[in-house]
A and B are shown apart, each in its own frame.
Chain A
Amino acid sequence: MFRGRRRHSHRSLIRARPSKPGTVLSTCSQNAFKLIRRPSRARQARVVRSGAPSSQGYAISLVSLRRRGRPRHARNAPAKTRLYADKTTRSRSAIEAISWRDNSLHRYGRTNGRQELTPSERDLLRWAWSHSTREQILSRLCDVQICLRGCDLRCLRHPGWLNDEIMNAYMGMLNRQYRSQGVYCFNSFFYTRLTSPSYRFEFVHRWTRRAGLCIQRNSLLLVPVNVDQRHWILVAIDASRRELRCYDSMHSRDGWRVLPNLERWLYDELTDKRVKDPWLLSREWRTLLAHEHQPVPRQSDGGSCGVFSLLFAEALACNWPPERSRHLSPSKGVYCKFSFGQKDVPVLRKRIALELLQQRLER
């Protein structure tokens, strides 16, 4: 497993310690950006013993010495050396500084997400999960104005519960990528604002206007919904089929509490924005729980419903518009097929964390 001790631990040294005088491994604190080239074991020991107190609080040194792991022809090249970063100021540059040498990534929809992480990805993730402080900002997503901190990204560790920051940051990235294809992702507060303390359309009627959302026949609206601070589900409002589908990794009936409110919002929204299209204005929208009509991956652990919801959203968005169902009657169209399952979740959690750190979806 990722957090376990690596078999070749001598290849990679990762250090992060709070600055307690006398106990610190402070190779990096004073000269944080000085290159370290493969320190000998004796020198490492010396550094440990000397234990100079650090003046900079937390400091992280990530030194990857991967000579032996490299192919024979590359062994004479200088060892790859990386160093980063103190509290918050250098966190972005730290991430950017990592060169993505082996970027042979595949979209997990096709590969079932089972491919291993590359060493550089593993290092980055280890840094983010184990060696960052709680308040350290690891990724700044400007378009959704979210700063992901150490404690936010750590909830992606299996089997942690996902919080709204992760959900909204990821939905924001989906928005950026798929908005031009008619997909719009709401943030997780949309439904909460709409329905608490009771249904109030006027609380959110400016949200869609501000976002420039205009519902059309080819629109797919994705709404992540938090149920009672314990469960994440995803509602897809599919205008081409006139359906509101609830994707629930627990296959529960929570969706029936959510769907009527969103259906009511939809009618209110179409009226409020004076949509003229008779196809949309028809009152024949269907509400359904997706797992009753198609195979939907089911969660068997106690914490991954947020991950499933994000993966549902990702799969629905990247398969939009549905090729085959466009010209068929709505009832005969083909639903999006999901190619992941519970067994892929630990790897997919890492993939999501990496995508958030790199701020781009893998294709």
Chain B
Amino acid sequence: MSSDTSDKKPAVSDVKTSGGDQINLKVRDADGNEVQFRIKKHTPLRKLMDAYCTRKGVDLHSYRFLFDGNRINEDDTPEKLGMEDMDSIDAMLFQQGGV
């Protein structure tokens, strides 16, 4: 899944050695598929979420993004959440139930 060729400027998916203020983050969905993103530490994670949802072809509100069980806000940055290189973000599909 990591061979993505999309050229999203803030969050590109091709993996390089993370240097300086950029880190690699894995986004993992409920089926166990992983997509890797490279993002600057002070870039809002909104960009990553947008890129992921666009890639999946779904509405931004369909997925909930969690880091270690805590919900990620659109304005959060990797630096603020204390993310490190190769950390994983969980992308969980919305849930509903009634019967």
Residue ranges of A at the interface with B (Cβ–Cβ < 8 Å): 144-146, 155, 159-165, 167-168, 186-190, 192-193, 196-197, 203-204, 206-211, 226-227, 229-232, 250, 299, 302-306
Secondary structure of the B contact surface, majority rule = loop
Does B70 lie at the interface of the complex (its beta carbon under 8 Å from any beta carbon of A)?
A: yes
Complex formed: what's the CA distance from A163 to B94 in Å? 7
In Å, the complex CA distance between A231 and B38 comes to: 37
Task: Tell me the smallest distance from the CB of A164 to a CB of chain B, in Å.
Answer: 4
Q: Are A144 and B97 in contact (CB under 8 A)?
A: no
Residues of B near A203 (CB, < 8 A) are 28, 90
The reply to whether B69 and A145 contact each other, CB–CB distance below 8 Å, is: no
Residue of A nearest to B92 (CB): A189
Q: B71, A227: Cβ atoms under 8 Å?
A: no
CB contact under 8 A between A187 and B98, given known A164-B64, A192-B92 = no
B88 CB to closest chain A CB, in angstroms?
Answer: 8
Mark contacts of B67-83 with chain A using CB atoms, 8 A cut-off: 1 yes-contact digit, 0 otherwise: 01111110000000000
Q: Is B1 engaged at the interface, CB distance under 8 Å to the other chain?
A: no
A188 → B minimal CB distance (Å): 6
Judging by beta carbons under 8 Å apart, are A144 and B68 in contact? no
**How many angstroms from the CA of A146 to the CA of B72 in the assembled complex?**
9
Chain B contacts for A305, CB-based, 8 A = 97-99
| Nearest A residue (CB) for B30 | A196
Interface contact B64-A160, CB-CB below 8 Å: no
**B31, A197: Cβ atoms under 8 Å?**
yes
Candidates B32, B73, B95, B99; contact of A163 at CB < 8 Å: B95
Pairwise interchain contact B97-A193, C-beta atoms closer than 8 A: no
Residue of A whose beta carbon sits closest to that of B31: A197
Q: Is the CB of B71 within 8 A of A231?
A: no
* A227-B92 contact in complex given A193-B30, A211-B69, C-beta closer than 8 Å: no
Q: Which of A146, A206, A229, A299 contacts B95, CB < 8 Å?
A: A229
Interface size class of B (residues with CB under 8 A): 20 to 34
Which chain A positions have C-beta within 8 A of B72?
145
Binary A-proximity of B47-72 (CB < 8 A = 1, otherwise 0): 00000000000000000101011111
Given contacts A192-B30, A193-B90, contact A207 B95 (CB under 8 A): no
For A302, the closest partner residue in chain B by CB is B99
The answer to whether B90 touches A230, judged by C-beta atoms less than 8 angstroms apart, is no
Chain A CB within 8 A of B96 CB: yes
Residue in contact with A145 in the complex, picked from B68, B73, B98, B99, CB distance below 8 Å: B73
Report A-chain residues with C-beta under 8 Å of the C-beta of B64.
Answer: 164, 189
C-alpha gap A305/B90 in the complex (Å): 26
Q: Are A162 and B70 in contact (CB under 8 A)?
A: no
Q: Tell me, rounded to whole Å, the shortest Cβ–Cβ distance linking B42 to chain A.
A: 19
Whether B98 lies near A160 (C-beta < 8 A) is: yes
Cβ-closest chain B residue relative to A228 = B97
21 A/B residue pairs, CB under 8 Å, sorted by A: A145-B72, A146-B71, A155-B96, A161-B98, A162-B98, A163-B96, A164-B95, A168-B71, A186-B69, A189-B64, A192-B95, A193-B66, A193-B90, A203-B28, A207-B69, A226-B96, A226-B97, A229-B97, A230-B96, A299-B99, A305-B98
Q: Which residue of A lies closest to B74 (CB)?
A: A147
Contact: B97 with A230, CB < 8 Å? yes
